[in-house]
Structure 1
């Protein structure tokens, strides 16, 4: 009963008086699923790039720590 009230309030707030056809809903769902897949690919690429950058940052930090320790030992 609560779901009905929430849905009814949503429809009323958005001036929806007639529900879209199932074919229209399926077409919209397919379009959104396609967009989601595209954005997920972009997300995976960005995540991989971030991992590479973090690794590079750690390597640079490690190198400079070793350089600093070598200078301390040699002095």
Structure 2
């Protein structure tokens, strides 16, 4: 069983439950301030399937880049 006190980002045992959500707990790491839930993704074969983005997906991502750049400069 996974120990959710171990941060999913930095791996240190510094995570602690902060909020109870409807079907999960929200944890926060005191070392890296990463926030995560106590839910693990289910992967049947142990590998995440890879695929290339479609042209529509690429177009959407590229359309969002200018907006993200503006937000980062504020």
Question: Which has a greater percent of strand?
Answer: 2
Select the structure of larger CA radius of gyration.
1
* Greater relative contact order structure (CA < 8 Å, 6+ sep): 2
Question: Which has a greater percent of helix?
Answer: 1
In the superposition, the TM-score normalised over structure 1's length comes to 0.29
